[in-house]
Structure 1
């Protein structure tokens, strides 16, 4: 696979990951409306995304697709966790 193709594939995956985590907005809204959901899956996603962002930052050449793909997971996952209580 060429470097150009790999870069495009990485950014396509990043976009899909962001869409996946934006889907937490529905759970957050439901939580705020009194229909509390479980906190377990969003908490696991938050921890997972935190690890991936840390990995992306700690690489010698920062891995921006990984960082960008997982920052929304931290924000929206944490939002879903907090509002579930």
Structure 2
């Protein structure tokens, strides 16, 4: 027998509201961390421009991954904006990093 069956409906509502607040908080933190992860390519881009090119494999794979996640978030029935917003910088910074490896 499930424990939920013994919880009063009002208490269940409070638990659901807490869960929703927690998910919103996790979504905001995850979005910010994802954006920061991609912004961290700036030193690699600077290294490329200064004549010390980095290996393009990791930024290329990250760009492809971010592109796939943006596509996934965009194609859902209801657009998943946290996924889209957090991965667009990955497409941009990944592309710029890869391009600047070859153009410096």
Q: TM-score, normalised by structure 1?
A: 0.95
Match of residue 68 from structure 2: 51
Q: Name stretches of at least 5 consecutive residues in structure 2 with no aligned partner.
A: 1-17
Q: Name stretches of at least 5 consecutive residues in structure 1 with no aligned partner.
A: none
Counterpart CA distance in 1 for 2:86 and 2:63 is 12
Alignment of 1:1-85 (within 5 A): 2-85=19-102
Deviation of residue 49 (structure 1)? Answer: 0.2
- Superposition RMSD in Å: 1.0
Larger Rg: 2
Moved over 4 A (4+): none
Deviation of residue 72 (structure 1)? Answer: 0.4
- Aligned length in residues: 85
Deviation of residue 84 (structure 1)? Answer: 0.6
